[in-house]
Structure 1
Amino acid sequence: MKYLQAVVAEGLKDAAPDRHKIEFRTDVKGVTTAWCVLDEKDDLLAVARFLAEGSARLSTITAYSTEKAKRTGNFEIAYHFDLDGDTLTVSVHVPPDGEVDSITSLFDNADWPEREMAELYGIKLRGHPHPERLFIDESLGDAVFDQYIPYSTMVNAATTKGLWEKVIAKGKGKGEGTP
């Protein structure tokens, strides 16, 4: 834990000086996790560069809209990194129609998660090498999660086929879709 705290805290001072909040926790088995919230989304690339140079591994990226974010209209994006068995999550807030720097140039495996969040939430990516869609038809607009189907409906959907039929019908203006 002390290693993670020392290395990450020092690196963040350089990458996002005085523009972040970080909290460290260690569980009963000695696994340390850290959660860092960047005050400025434009610090993400510098923080990701610091982590890439330190041999961090990007585990995944999660985009979501929290209750607080819904009040402000922002999305939150959490980038989950593994640092020698410990986890660091770096999160940024992005306004609707805002953009965030792609970290694909530093972590190849960011490609699909970034494209997915762009496709599903309409989050724009600056500098992404492959900005085309992954799986949703071009005839549907951006941000299908916000426009066509509530997240609660999606996670409670009984079948994938039924879910996408609702999305497509709503997107083409042919059906009621979901409330």
Structure 2
Amino acid sequence: MHEVDLLVIGGGINGAGIARDASGRGLKVLLCEQHDLAAHTSSASSKLIHGGLRYLEQGEFGLVRKALGEREVVRRQAPFLVRPLCFVLPWQPHLRPRWMLRLGLWLYDHLGRRSPAFPASRAVDLHAVPLGVLLSPQLQHAFSYADAQVDDARLVILNALDAAQRGARILTGTRCVDLQRGHGRWHA
């Protein structure tokens, strides 16, 4: 029997990150994962660390700011795993005005702390760049912006290793099958 302050069930990026943060704050942490670390969703993700560009349209500026901040934290803590990745967003007149996209990308650039690792968004004339020949000739204008790509399975492992170095117990091949509350405590 182990007494801990926090039981984390699941060894994906969220579980490993929570275990790392909590153990770094001095809590006694136990993480259990029924398979291996990063064995499921974390290893099948898009590999993107993004700032939530799509949330701007819904006015979720705080969420975008937070996501961009988290992206920067991960980039600073694991620069060897994170690399900027540029995206090109073609513009079509029937979707929304060009000025609106430009304004949204400007906000995206400025809601988080600007890092030189991520180039600022910019307008792109698709007829003037090699990329344009690969796209439909009707597409003339686009915008480029940067997000980040990460080796997410390695990021999970690094978080779990750091949590363990901070005192957390990391148990793989260990499934939590029952939780019961009794005498002011949870029993797993």
User: What's the TM-score, normalizing by structure 1?
Assistant: 0.30
Query: Which structure: larger Rg?
Result: 2
